[in-house]
Amino acid sequence: MKKVTILNKIVDSGIVAVIRGESPEKATKTAEAVIKGGVKGIELTFTVPKIDRVIAELSQKYRGSKVAIGAGTVLDATSARIAILAGAEFIVSPSFNVEVAKICNLYQIPYVPGCMTVTEVQTALSYGVDIIKMFPGSVTGPKMINAIHGPLPYVSIMPTGGVSLDNMADWFKAGAVVVGTGSNLTGAADHDDLETVTAMAEKYISKLTQLRKNS
């Protein structure tokens, strides 16, 4: 049931914020700013130094809440296990990796790998993947979801890369179950403008609420 509960949290969040930063402190502050704005899906990437400490800190703080703390840019099983032991509730990769899939299955943690083709999607599904990260979304576009849903209509897809406030509706209309967004949401953090990050998060949540009400 653990995996199902986490999957429901991810889908209910509607938006997963991709958090990067040149230091653990910056990544933590950016994540907090996003959560303050109402976004409950948080993907902390392994490009951040000492990211396991950030995952551990935020996972402990938000344990038992609707906030889902996950790890991103996970390229190998060792990194996946480090993230999971630190408290990550889900693992995201830019590509599919069999060993990462196995370790996630072992710990009953959702694995969201990046895929671009039907072959990659089919392979990921055969290893127990529940949500496919369509990446990069800026290259594939919303129509790719329709294309994949032709032969594989039951696949849950999370586009990431190129998702913005302006085109979020197009992604959900095409069939996305959740969207991942990075610099379009958190870009102001590069200039330490966390208030703008929170304001952007609020706009994303407002848009999401509107879309769900009209669907």
Q: Band the pLDDT of 23: cuts 50, 70, 90.
A: very high
Average pLDDT, the chain: 96
User: Which residue matches tokens 């710990």?
Assistant: 107
Give the integer Cα–Cα distance in Å for 117 and 189.
Answer: 33
Closest CA to 181 of 203, 163, 199, 206: 163
Tell me: pLDDT of 215 over 90. Answer: no
Active-site positions read: 43, 133
**Contact, 17 vs 43, CB < 8 A?**
yes
pLDDT of amino acid 99: 98
Structural domain tally of the chain?
1
pLDDT of residue 1: 78
pLDDT tens for 73-100 read 999 999 999 999 999 999 999 999 999 9
Q: What is the largest CA-CA distance in the chain?
A: 45
Decide if 92 contacts 44 (C-beta within 8 A): no
CATH of residue 164's domain is 3.20.20.70
Residue 168: in which H helix or E strand, if any? Answer: helix 168-174
Task: Look up the pTM and report it.
Answer: 0.97
Question: How many alpha carbons lie under 13 Å from residue 172 in its C-beta half-sphere?
Answer: 22
